[in-house]
């Protein structure tokens, strides 16, 4: 080797990674890097001249070690299988940096939301395939109970159908046939839960869809009125 070559070799500066750079590459905290260095688990790590801190010569081995550490950290954030328990996943967070654990919780919440949505869509698709006339009574029961829970119902309407006042409606209508369910729901809709018995345009439209001609019925009842009621409004 020439004198010039020997001079260059002796004056070549060794490159180092700072603890911040290494922590970022490995996806760890600086304290974790220091602990791993003390344990001798970081390739090439050695004590600095002060004898207290560590220095990390930049090398291919160190870069590979950092990449492996980062990959393992990312794998911890993912569900290894659909049967993995929540407790196991949460306990693994305790070993991770706080920011990484927070990211994992967000990922878990996102997966949970996506899972619930997928289940709901599959259920609806199943209903679309299997729905038939035999399901109508059950569907009407659900609609009736929901309407009553939201809008309330007049006691007179409950009495007309021999329903209990104050609860137990689901049990009472469980054995109702389709015709009775439809009749109750139509009366509930057209009388605003039994509060009024005056059909408006909406009520007439509902009945018309069920094949009921409100005008004809009005005319028939009007013709049946005694003479003293002839002047009463419709």
Q: pLDDT tens digits for 148-202?
A: 888 888 889 999 999 998 778 999 999 999 999 999 999 998 887 777 777 878 8
pLDDT digits (tens, 9 = 90+) for 97-123: 555 666 667 777 777 788 888 888 888
The residues with which 56 forms a beta bridge, in sequence order, are 17
> Is residue 42 packed enough to be buried (19+ CB in 10 Å), middle (13-18) or exposed (0-12)?
buried
- Listed by start position, the domains of the chain span 3-76, 86-129, 134-229
Residue 45 pLDDT grade (very low, low, confident, very high; cuts 50, 70, 90): very high
User: Distance between CA 51 and CA 21 in Å, rounded?
Assistant: 21
CATH of domain 3-76: 1.10.1660
Q: What is the pLDDT of residue 87?
A: 47
pLDDT tops 70 at residue 231: no
For 10-19, what is the mean pLDDT? 76
Token pair listed for 189:
């809709």
Percent of the chain with pLDDT over 90: 21
Q: What is the pLDDT of residue 182?
A: 93
User: Distance between CA 180 and CA 182 in Å, rounded?
Assistant: 5
């Amino acid at each position: 080797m020439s004198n010039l070559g020997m001079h260059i070799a002796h004056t070549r500066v060794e490159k180092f990674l700072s603890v911040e750079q290494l922590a970022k590459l490995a996806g760890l905290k600086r304290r974790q890097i220091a602990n791993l260095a003390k344990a001798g688990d970081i390739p090439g790590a050695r004590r600095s001249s002060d004898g207290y801190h560590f220095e990390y010569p930049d090398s291919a081995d160190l870069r590979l070690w950092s990449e492996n550490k980062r990959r393992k950290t990312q794998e911890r954030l993912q569900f290894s299988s659909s049967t993995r328990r929540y407790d196991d996943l949460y306990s693994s967070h305790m070993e991770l940096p706080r920011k990484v654990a927070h990211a994992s919780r967000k990922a878990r919440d996102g997966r949970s939301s996506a899972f619930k949505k997928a289940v709901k869509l599959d259920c609806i698709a199943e209903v679309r395939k299997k729905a038939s006339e035999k399901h109508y009574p059950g569907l009407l029961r659900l609609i009736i109970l929901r309407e009553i829970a939201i809008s309330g119902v007049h006691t007179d309407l409950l009495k007309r159908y021999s329903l209990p006042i104050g609860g137990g409606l689901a049990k009472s209508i469980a054995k109702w046939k389709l015709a009775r369910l439809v009749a109750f729901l139509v009366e509930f809709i057209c009388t605003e839960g039994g509060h009024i018995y005056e059909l408006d345009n909406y009520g007439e439209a509902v009945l018309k869809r069920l094949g009921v001609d409100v005008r004809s019925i009005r005319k028939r009842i009007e013709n049946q009125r005694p003479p003293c009621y002839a002047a009463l409004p419709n």
